């Protein structure tokens, strides 16, 4: 009797723990607010440049978790130019430069 109860309890606990171990996509961009908090001042949101991918035929940036190309709109801004380590945005208040790193070093393979 006790053995049957323990087996049922074990089976029930396996079902609960399996749902708690849901897999997450490792390629999904991180949510900056999870790490740095949700920083908003007044009505203007802070911009977070998370990554840049450049190649001979494409330039893509991830800003605030959204993938954008040159000419795309994100929020109230338009992406003007994507470079190796920075992105230029045009807002109603002027041009804004988002930098990926303070300094970028190029290393030849």
Q: In the prediction, which pLDDT does 79 show?
A: 95
Instruction: Give the chain's domains with CATH numbers.
Output: 45-109 (2.30.30.830)
Whole-number Cα distances in Å, 82 to 34, 66, 88: 25, 14, 7
| pLDDT tens-digit readout, 79-95 | 999 998 899 999 888 99
Q: Which residues are CB-contacts of 47 (< 8 A; sequence separation ≥ 6)? A: 63, 64, 77, 89, 96, 98
* Selection from 3-17, 23-37, 85-99 with the highest mean pLDDT: 85-99
Q: CA 85, CA 87: separation in Å to the nearest integer?
A: 7
* Contact of 101 with 50, CB cutoff 8 Å: no
Across the chain, mean pLDDT equals 77
């Amino acid at each position: 009797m006790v053995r049957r109860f323990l087996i049922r309890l074990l089976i029930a606990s396996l079902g609960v723990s399996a749902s708690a171990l849901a897999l997450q996509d490792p390629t999904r961009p991180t949510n900056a607010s999870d790490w740095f908090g949700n920083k908003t001042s007044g009505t203007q949101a802070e911009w977070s440049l998370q990554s840049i991918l450049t190649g001979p035929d494409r330039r893509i940036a991830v800003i605030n978790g959204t993938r954008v190309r040159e000419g795309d709109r994100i929020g109230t801004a338009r992406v003007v130019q994507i470079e190796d380590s920075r992105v230029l945005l045009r807002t109603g208040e002027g041009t804004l430069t988002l930098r990926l790193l303070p300094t970028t070093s190029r290393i030849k393979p």
